[in-house]
A and B are shown apart, each in its own frame.
Chain A
Amino acid sequence: DAGVIQSPRHEVTEMGQEVTLRCKPISGHDYLFWYRQTMMRGLELLIYFNNNVPIDDSGMPEDRFSAKMPNASFSTLKIQPSEPRDSAVYFCASSFWTGYGPLSGANVLTFGAGSRLTVL
């Protein structure tokens, strides 16, 4: 498997423009997470999906941010309109749930390489 694939790797845009970040999770993984990393706030969970359904979007900063997962192999994170404070590295991660018990392999996140967004 090629791992979690994110695009674009780098995006430079001007304030007010729409930005769309894309993610292809690992095949067979039923969880998908979007994280944002900044120097000031560290790694923040924005939203996560289970079986393509958004479960928790409490980390989404504001209405300018939206995320979708139309199928098991694709997700988007959209910012409209973008602002300079949105500049960050956005990571997508996927995982699978193997149940409980001593032998459970719980939610190891496999991260994509990240999308570095710069809003001027």
Chain B
Amino acid sequence: AQKVTQAQTEISVVEKEDVTLDCVYETRDTTYYLFWYKQPPSGELVFLIRRNSFDEQNEISGRYSWNFQKSTSSFNFTITASQVVDSAVYFCALSDKAGKSTFGDGTTLTVKP
């Protein structure tokens, strides 16, 4: 069975601070996919980033970056220079080859001006 754990329930930062959201996953699959989604107060779910299990290269995309480490089964997500508009619930998700996605419980990020 697949499992995603987001230990941080809520995080509060002041604008322009960097913030890292933690995600730990469990799977027996050798091929899998990891995602981060954002759910702003309006309620929709928006895709942010994706990583395949066979590619541990970490990247930066604008203010977003991620750290994927298979050895610790972690897929952490960092927002640099946070903004008020980043306030949302962030979900880490694990997908198997068939596309079935398991979501973590989410981390509520509040960015204060």
Q: Which chain A residues in 4-54 approach chain B with CB under 8 Å?
A: 31, 33, 42-43, 45, 48, 50
Q: How far is the CB of B8 from chain A (nearest CB, A)?
A: 14
Q: Is B103 in contact with A89, judged by CB distance below 8 angstroms?
A: no
Residues of A within 8 A of B55 (CB): 102
Identify the stretch in B15-23, B70-78, B93-101 within 8 Å (CB) of chain A at 4 or more residues.
Answer: B93-101
Binds B, one of A62-70, A75-83, A106-114: A106-114
Instruction: Give the shortest distance, in Å, between B87 (CB) and chain A (any CB).
Output: 18
Decide: B43 and A113 in contact? CB cutoff 8 A: yes
Q: Could you say which residues of chain A place their CB within 8 Å of the CB of B106?
A: 42-43
Expressed in whole angstroms, the Cα–Cα distance for A104 and B97 within the complex equals: 11
Interface membership of B50, Cβ < 8 A = yes
Contact string against A for B residues 73-113, beta-carbon threshold 8 Å, 1 for contact and 0 otherwise: 00000000000000000010101011111111110000000
With an 8 A cutoff between CB atoms, is B35 at the interface? yes
Of chain B, the residue at the smallest CB distance from A116 is: B43
Residues of B in contact with A, size category? 20 to 34
Verify A109–B47 contact, CB threshold 8 A. yes
Q: Considering the chains assembled together, what is the distance between the CA atoms of A87 and B25 in angstroms? A: 29
- The 8 Å CB contact of B95, one of A42, A89, A107, is A107
Interface set of A (CB-CB < 8 Å, partner B): 31, 33, 42-43, 45, 48, 50, 55-56, 89, 91, 93, 95, 97, 100, 102, 104-111, 113-114
Per the bound structure, the CA–CA distance linking A109 and B44 in Å amounts to 12
Query: Which chain B residues numbered 11 to 69 have a C-beta less than 8 Å away from chain A?
Result: 31, 33, 35, 37, 43-47, 50, 52, 54-55
Is A106 touching B101 in the complex (CB atoms < 8 A)? no
Whether B102 contacts A106 by the Cβ 8 Å rule is no
